[in-house]
A = this chain, B = another copy of it.
């Protein structure tokens, strides 16, 4: 192990320079004019895997290609680990808010600023370099490894699950390791104990045959805008509790240990409030902000559109209104069940004089980690050794639906260990990745592979 770690130390400058080459490729999966760049990033990554010592190929899908790297030299009795990540990035817009160009990695204050630096090229490439260190310095790995990198994570991963299903034999593994999340704080490495799921809907309210004059008809027909507001208002009470019958029935009651773990984490609510510039924090009563973020579900409006929204006073009585409303779900809940409960709720609260339609747009299941066992133990000690401080267990408010799919379809356990930092501007201008986390993180992954062997 020590020669592998020495190899890392001796090559950190090169590892950084290579990452910057990766970051210079604008692999924006959402934009077809960048399809060439996206493929170039896949090929670049495949070459990097080959140089690290894996066999690698770029596999076409109906969308952007999948990169598959393999090293099976540990033999059939050794465990197999699948490392998942993505090489595509979010669009960089608005461009004028970037302090340095999004695809020209720029170092400032111990960080590299570039689109994709944290999400996810930087974190994915740490794995590639940790694998290289083992294979180049020790000539082998104590585990078999499959690296699966997709180019459609930022556009919904539509081709990933079919690929995993079709290649379940080749992808068979004991564990799935994903680095596409954050540490709890600077210098505080962490392992995730949960992800929230998602149930995303549009609610459409329809009234009269056409928009009407608010003077000539107002007072006699229901207004879809007022009706939609009534419906949305009915979803939560003044304590921030969701009022859909049965909504909390399946919500996991976390064990005391996890809740103590959450409460033990340093968190300055006033600092958090000030940073968000809100007059007050506001969430479900009786829970701390970290609990509200990680172990409690939400109901949030994502968008509303109704009637005339331009300048001035148009006296229209609109004939339709639409809201996008989504729920973050916690372990125990499912998007299918929430849809059924919401349908029943709408039936109950829809005002007379309008018709209400529910459209499901997107669903993702929540995930709960198996925090006991070799996987998390190995990760914890690797992180502690690399960062010099014990790793903490934390939840994550966002959703990575593919995690549950990996566990189910590959019958493996997932480990989510991330190296981004809070505030690193994911999906926003001036995305950054801490160089210290990049370098220490490679060391942590080297130790993790060793520990799993």
Contacts and interface: CB of A to CB of B under 8 A. Distances in A.
Contacts of A398: 213, 215-216
A265 interface: no
Contact of A220 (B200, B292, B312, B399): B292
A397 B293 CA distance: 49
A212 B315 contact: no
A165 interface: no
Interface size class of A (residues with CB under 8 A): 35 or more
A355 B279 contact: yes
A282 interface: yes
Contacts of A238: 351
Question: How many copies of this chain does the complex contain?
Answer: 2
B230 A233 contact: yes
A302 interface: yes
A284 interface: yes
A279 B208 contact: no
A198 interface: yes
- Most chain B Cβ neighbours within 10 Å, of A307, A313, A353, A397: A313
A321 interface: yes
B293 A315 contact: no
A351 B282 contact: yes
A219 interface: yes
B313 A209 contact: no
Contacts of A297: 219
B298 A214 contact: yes
A304 B302 contact: no
B299 A308 contact: no
Interface string A183-210: 0000000000000101010000001110
Contacts of A280: 222, 352-353
Given A221-B281, A293-B220, A302 B326 contact: no
Contacts of A229: 228-233, 301, 304, 323
Nearest to A284: B219
Given A226-B236, A301-B318, A362-B313, A218 B397 contact: yes
Nearest to A289: B220
B305 A221 contact: no
Contacts of A226: 232-233, 235-236, 299-301
Interface in A316-337: 316-318, 321-324, 326, 328
Nearest to A308: B303
Interface in A323-364: 323-324, 326, 328, 351-355, 361-362
Contacts of A163: none
B317 A307 contact: no
Interface in A225-284: 225-226, 228-236, 238, 272, 275-284
A411 interface: no
A368 to B, nearest CB: 16
Contacts of A217: 276, 293, 397
Given A217-B293, A219-B297, A303-B316, 8 more contacts: A208-B277, A214-B302, A218-B328, A218-B397, A225-B304, A229-B301, A301-B318, A313-B361
Nearest 10 A/B pairs, CB to CB: A225-B301, A215-B398, A282-B353, A229-B232, A233-B233, A303-B307, A209-B277, A219-B292, A222-B282, A313-B362
